[in-house]
Chain A
Amino acid sequence: MTGLYLALALILLLTICVGMVRVLRGPTATDRMLAAQLFGTTAVAILLLLGQATENTAIWDVALIFALLTAIAAATFVRRRDIDKTTETEDQNDRH
């Protein structure tokens, strides 16, 4: 079973690497932010699997903290919508 958990964790880590493309390409600030949010969820899953594979339950606490806290950066982002607007207009200017 340990091998299966590790293989799944590896696949999830690869999905983070692929998701990094969205952070790098954008185009809008919201795309980048949401990709980072998705990484948070993936990291929770990876930590749960690693905790199960190594039988070190302390790792689950790290997963708990991530599950609780990744929403906060997104909440700040929503309250600062002006960042998104300016970045979008700048992106449009870039494309012209």
Chain B
Amino acid sequence: MIDLVLAFDLILMTTLISLAWLLLASRDLFRAVVLFIAFGLLLALAWTRLGAVDVALAEAAIGAGITGTLLLVGLGKLGSAERCRRTPRPTTFLQRLTPAVLIGIIIPSVTIILLLELRQLQIVSSGQQGLVLSLLDISGTDHPVTAVLLNFRAWDTLLEKGVLLLALVSIWSLDQARPLFHQEAPSPVLKGLSQLYLPILVIVSGALLWQGGYAPGGAFQAGALLSAGILLAILGGRSLLPAWYGMPLRLLAGCGLLIFILIAAATLLAGNLPLQYPQELAGALILLIEIVATVSIAVILAAAVAGGHPAEISATEQQQPPSSEGTS
């Protein structure tokens, strides 16, 4: 049985490394995008094999829901000439090797090095686990990962929300968002798909959010799932009401960071350290942060796919996340 597990892990790792090489070396950008989608799938498998189901959930939601769409939309914005990279002049000795040599020598050796490293990881992997588990009672949640992310190391999560918001600000500073798809009406199949899927995605996203309290799940996974729902609504031909372009959209995108800062300020005023929750309120505060962060993450990710700042209020042909999904 151990042999089977080892064979599975070995093949998974070899395929991952070969895929990474192939997608970086691919001259056809569409092929690179499809390889990246496959890479995301296998990476989620690898995370589950490593026992990090939380990370696998996030990778699945981001990799399958967002990056594929994001890259395909980005690819559509390039001209057909830019879609094929020209063969670069070889600059390192690696690029002079033929694919057969690479696959035959380098990929197995990288795999073996990684395997040896992983073996060592297992020996010293106890880390802070005992400490976290012993403090779980006072954290306000029953899942160690959520306890670390939203209580013990909440400061990191606050900064992570800041990074997401900064990424969106950078995207908005580059260009104005243009309609993602042709003006022609989407096919009835797509409309039906989005009508069928949207409620399911919203429900599963809510379930993942709630599940974060006692099992793998949480705001980021739920937010990514919700933003996939928003993307699906855009694919189905819906768009954000122009009245939402201004303050409401910015508030929705910023509310995740905002609620964190407000709670940090409140705990500071109450005489504690920033984000040091009172023990009896910890569960409620974590849930509040998670709910607001889910909406905020969903809006930020979907707006990132739109690829630019929203048009002025007067413009009407803008395609943006629909308001109803962003707030539900």
B170 to chain A, nearest CB (A): 23
Classify chain B's interface size. 35 or more
* Smallest beta-carbon distance A47→chain B, Å: 7
Whole-angstrom distance from the CB of A94 to the nearest CB of chain B? 10
Alpha-carbon distance A53/B320, docked complex (angstroms):
43
- Chain B residues lying within 8 Å of A10, measured Cβ to Cβ, are 4, 7-8, 11
Contact of A59 among B4, B5, B53, B73 (CB under 8 A): B53
A66 to B40, CA, bound (A): 11
Closest to A78 in B: B190
Task: Give CA–CA (A26, B35) in the complex, Å.
Answer: 12
Q: In chain B, residues 68-109, which have Cβ atoms closer than 8 Å to a Cβ of chain A?
A: 68-69, 72-73, 75-76, 80, 83-84
Which of A2, A68, A86 has the most B CB atoms < 10 Å from its CB? A68
Residue in A2, A72, A87 whose CB lies within 8 Å of B65: A72
Known contacts being A6-B1, A87-B28, is A75 close to B53, with CB within 8 Å? no
Q: Given A24-B22, A72-B228, verify A62-B53 contact (CB < 8 Å).
A: yes
Q: A61-B216, A73-B69, A76-B72 are in contact. Are A20 and B19 (CB under 8 A)?
A: yes
Q: Which residues of B contact A76 (CB under 8 A)?
A: 68-69, 72-73, 231, 235
User: How far apart sit A28 and B148, CA to CA, in the bound complex (Å)?
Assistant: 47
Asked if B38 is at the interface (CB within 8 A of a chain A CB), the reply is yes
Is B240 on the interface with A (CB-CB < 8 A)?
A: no
Residues of A within 8 A of B65 (CB): 65, 69, 72
Report if B169 contacts A (CB, 8 A). Answer: no
Against A, the Cβ 8 Å flags (1 = close, 0 = not) of B152-188 are 0000000000000000000000000000011000110
> Is B15's beta carbon under 8 Å from chain A?
yes
Which B4-35 residues have C-beta < 8 A from chain A? 4-5, 7-8, 11-12, 15, 19, 22, 28, 30-31, 34-35
**CB of A57 to closest CB in B, whole Å:** 9
Question: Are A6 and B5 neighbours in the complex by a CB distance under 8 Å?
Answer: yes
Give the CA-CA distance A38 to B187 in the complex, in Å. 23
Measured between beta carbons, the chain A residues less than 8 angstroms from B83 are 83, 86-87, 90
- Nearest-CB distance from A62 to chain B (Å)? 5
What separation, in Å, do the CA atoms of A83 and B1 have in the docked complex?
A: 45
Give residues 3-53 of A contacting B (CB, 8 Å): 3, 6-7, 9-10, 13-14, 16-17, 20, 23-24, 26, 29, 32-33, 35-36, 39-40, 43, 46-47, 50
The contact size tier of chain A is: 35 or more
Residues B216-244 near A (CB distance < 8 A)? 216-217, 221, 225, 228, 231-232, 235
| A/B interface sample: 18 pairs, CB < 8 A | A10-B4, A10-B11, A23-B38, A43-B44, A58-B53, A58-B216, A61-B215, A62-B44, A72-B231, A72-B235, A73-B37, A73-B69, A75-B193, A75-B232, A78-B187, A83-B83, A86-B83, A87-B30
Given contact pairs A61-B216, A87-B30, enumerate 17 new A-B contacts (beta carbons under 8 Å): A16-B38, A40-B41, A43-B41, A61-B217, A62-B44, A62-B48, A65-B60, A65-B225, A66-B41, A69-B60, A69-B64, A72-B68, A73-B68, A80-B75, A80-B181, A83-B30, A90-B84
List residues of B whose CB falls within 8 A of some A CB: 1, 4-5, 7-8, 11-12, 15, 19, 22, 28, 30-31, 34-35, 37-38, 41-42, 44-45, 48-49, 53, 56-57, 60-61, 64-65, 68-69, 72-73, 75-76, 80, 83-84, 181-182, 186-187, 190, 193, 197, 200-201, 204, 208, 211, 215-217, 221, 225, 228, 231-232, 235
Name A residues whose Cβ lies closer than 8 Å to a Cβ of B.
2-3, 6-7, 9-10, 13-14, 16-17, 20, 23-24, 26, 29, 32-33, 35-36, 39-40, 43, 46-47, 50, 56, 58-59, 61-62, 64-66, 68-73, 75-80, 82-83, 86-87, 90
